Amino acid sequence: MTIIPKETKAIGYIRVSTEKQGKQGAGLERQTEAIRNWCRKKGMQLLSIHQDIASAVDTHNYEKRSGLSEAHRQALRENAIMVVYEPTRLFRNIDAAQEFLENLPVGVFSIRNNRYLGKPGLTSAILRGAEAAKNIAAGTQHALQDLKDNQKKSLGSPKGLDRSRVAALKSRKIRAQDVVESVAAVLERDEAYRDLSNRALADLLNREGILTGWNRPWTRDAIKKTRKKAEEHIRERDALEAELDAEEAVKQPLPAEPTSPPDESHPKLEEANPEQAELEKNPNFGMF
């Protein structure tokens, strides 16, 4: 059972996967509003709200999200509660969440769940978020899934191949995908890297020790195909994140905006027009 912390300071964190998603559904503005309303209602001192426009599916997304890193550090430094709209704003990949889970703030409050979440609760929520991503990907990217299935079938047990050769083929395929994801991570690190020439990108990867699937240095020609796959990987993942955000916005609407108290600055009808009010008291008023 999660113990409710007694601290009165809070750090907010908000996230969407794309610029477009930031203006729709459970976008940045509405997540911010929900956090501010909750802190005001609970008497919390909201020190800051940090934000990211980034995917939460990628394995290395914790290192790439400066907003999350700073929110985490500040929460630990200030001994403050961390407030999010819901847990998958933090992570959708349990591997990426390990550092955060090992150094939890004094409390993490989920507005959608309306409760504090400890390590078991956060872990469970992140795993469910990852499973949801997998299920939606299977349903919305049908053609891509069929292609992947066909590729896997080709690595089954074709005639003439012994088990060791089949294992080698599978190993190379896994290694190739790892290389694609590593190149994608570099391209996402800085917008300027997206505009690098193939030769410049190859040089950058070689300097960082990211080699080809055959453990060889990159050349201008060798990087072309892998770069294309890495860019496609980024597009597919961002599209998936945007769809997940949109689906959650439909299924889980944000708390209703607080209604404003009646404006007492305007006089009531009787005070504003006493003659009209007196006429309305007549039982025949308005009959003709």
DSSP line for 235-268: HHHHHHHHHHHHHHHHHSPPPPPPPPPP-TTSPP
pLDDT value of position 190:
73
Does residue 108 lie in a domain region?
yes
Q: Is the pLDDT of residue 141 over 60?
A: no
Say if residue 155 is in the same domain as residue 231.
yes
Write down which residue in 132, 156, 187 finishes a domain. 132
My answer on whether 187 and 120 are in the same domain is: no
75 domain residue, yes or no: yes
Q: Is 256 inside a domain boundary? A: no
The CATH number for 30's domain is 3.40.50.1390
Kindly tell me if the per-residue pLDDT of 270 is higher than 60: no
For residue 275, pLDDT beyond 60:
no
80 occurs within a structural domain: yes
84 and 183 share one domain: no
Cβ atoms within 10 Å, residue 64: 16
Instruction: Over range 69-97, report the average pLDDT.
Output: 94
Q: Is residue 258 part of a domain?
A: no
Do residues 100 and 170 both lie within one domain? no
pLDDT of residue 105 exceeding 90, the answer is yes
209 vs 108 pLDDT, higher one: 108
Q: Tell whether 74 and 40 lie within a shared domain.
A: yes
**172 and 208 share a domain?**
yes
- Domain range enclosing 147: 142-250
115 plus 160 within the same structural domain: no
Check pLDDT > 80 for residue 62.
Answer: yes
How many Å apart are CA 148 and CA 54, to the nearest integer?
25
Comparing 43 with 275, the larger pLDDT belongs to 43
Q: What is the mean pLDDT of the chain?
A: 78
Does residue 288 fall inside a structural domain?
no
199: pLDDT strictly greater than 90 = yes
Least confident span in 37-46, 150-159, 232-241: 150-159
- What whole-number distance in Å separates Cα of residue 100 and Cα of residue 107? 12
User: Do residue 197 and residue 115 come from a single domain?
Assistant: no
Residue 255, in any domain of the structure: no
Task: Judge if 14 and 34 occupy the same domain.
Answer: yes
Q: Which amino acid is at 49?
A: I
Last residue of a domain, one of 132, 163, 195: 132
| Mean pLDDT, residues 175-181 | 83
Reported as a single tens digit per residue, the pLDDT across 239-255 is 777 766 666 666 555 55
The pLDDT tens digits for 125-139 are 899 888 877 776 665
Q: Which of 132, 161, 191 represents a domain boundary (last residue)?
A: 132
- Identify the DSSP state of 2: P
Q: Which residue has the higher pLDDT, 172 or 2?
A: 172
Burial of 121 (0-12, 13-18, 19+ CB in 10 A): middle
Residues 185 and 203 in one domain: yes
Q: What is the domain count for the chain?
A: 2
Residue 41's H or E segment, with its range, is helix 28-42
Considering the domain architecture, whether residues 228 and 186 belong to the same structural domain is answered as yes
Top mean pLDDT of 132-146, 212-226, 227-241, 265-279 is at: 212-226
Q: What is the pLDDT of residue 10?
A: 97
Residue 286 has pLDDT above 90, yes or no: no
Of 142-151, 174-183, 239-248, the range with the highest mean pLDDT is: 174-183
pLDDT band at residue 237 using 50, 70 and 90 as cut-offs: confident
pLDDT (0 to 100) of residue 229: 92
Whether residues 24 and 117 share a domain: the answer is yes
> Where is pLDDT greater, at 55 or 228?
228
In a domain? residue 261: no
Q: State residue 266's pLDDT score.
A: 45
Average pLDDT estimate for 282-286: 53
Q: At 234, which amino acid appears?
A: I
Sheet containing strand 81-84, edge to edge, reads 45-53, 9-16, 81-84, 107-110, 115-117
